[in-house]
Amino acid sequence: MIFKSYAKINLYLDVVGKRDDGYHDILSVFQSISLYDLMTIDEKKGKDVSFFSNDPSLKWDEGNLIFRAYEAFFDTLNLPRIGLRITLKKRIPKGCGFGGGSSNAGVILLHLGRRFGVDLKDLERIAMDLGSDVKYFLHGGTAIVKGKGDEVELVEDITGYSVNLKIPNLSFRTKDMYRKISCFLNKNHRKGRDPLHLLQALRKVDPDGIRSNVFNIFENIILLENPQLSALLENPHGIVSSFTGKGPAVFTLLHGESGRYRFVSKIEYSSQGM
């Protein structure tokens, strides 16, 4: 079976506090887009997994979120393991804020869940132990995401938009960026921006309202340490440009389908492999 493992962008991303467990609480609007990795999953005899990828840095070990998702699925649910042949064609850039690894983990959980008839709620519990974004990638589409990424509020999909992407030859470690964000917590950096107002503006196709509410708290740190990246935010043709995730990739939002990557809805996201 062949699956598209979609990337996401953050139309809004704020870090609202640090938790006692060392994680940070976020407030974000996630949107899946039609940039994807391609995952082919076939069953085979035995209980071993054969893993192949065009990314030579990915091995079948703890550094691979697909491996961790596979292990967690069978360990948590105490189900008999099955042999798989997994081929992953990476197209989503790593370390750029698109959630590619979490998306891959979501795909394998959804596939195994369907194979064994596991309830989505059980898959969500497994996903929350794997990584902050993995639970979202069991659903896709448009969602408000809170907490450490484990509180996913599904909302009506935003449609009719597309994006172009600018991806510099850089990558940022998530832990490093969140460590640096502490100095911006509890400051009035949002300037009235609000995720609910953003969703309303997107539904009304209100360019001024969209520009007034798109937000990414990491922009301050990214540009402070990499001022040359400000050129990526220059936006002569779209509604607005912004960093996604902790950067350094930038999306430019356009109304209609003139952008290279369109918004992906929950129905399209979840219909694969059915």
Strands 49-53 and 83-89, by their bridges, are parallel
Active site residue 133: yes
Q: Which residues pair with 26 in a beta bridge?
A: 15, 147
Cα 198 from Cα 193, distance rounded (Å): 8
- Catalytic-labelled residue, pool 4, 14, 37, 133: 133
DSSP state, residue 157? P
- Catalytic-labelled residue, pool 8, 90, 135, 246: 8
Q: Is 106 exposed, middle or buried (0-12, 13-18, 19+ CB in 10 A)?
A: buried
Six token digits for residue 180: 């640096």
Residues contacting residue 80 through CB under 8 Å, at least 6 positions apart: 74
Cα 109 from Cα 69, distance rounded (Å): 6
Cα 78 from Cα 11, distance rounded (Å): 38
C-beta neighbour count of 274 within 10 angstroms: 5
Q: Could you please report the per-residue DSSP string of 15-74?
A: EEEE-TTS-EEEEEEEEEEEEEEEEEEEEESSS-EEEEES-TT--SSTT-HHHHHHHHHH
Six token digits for residue 27: 């407030």
Main-chain dihedrals φ then ψ at residue 228, nearest 5 degrees: -65, -20
Active site residue 48: no
Cα 266 from Cα 72, distance rounded (Å): 25
Write out the catalytic residue numbers.
8, 133
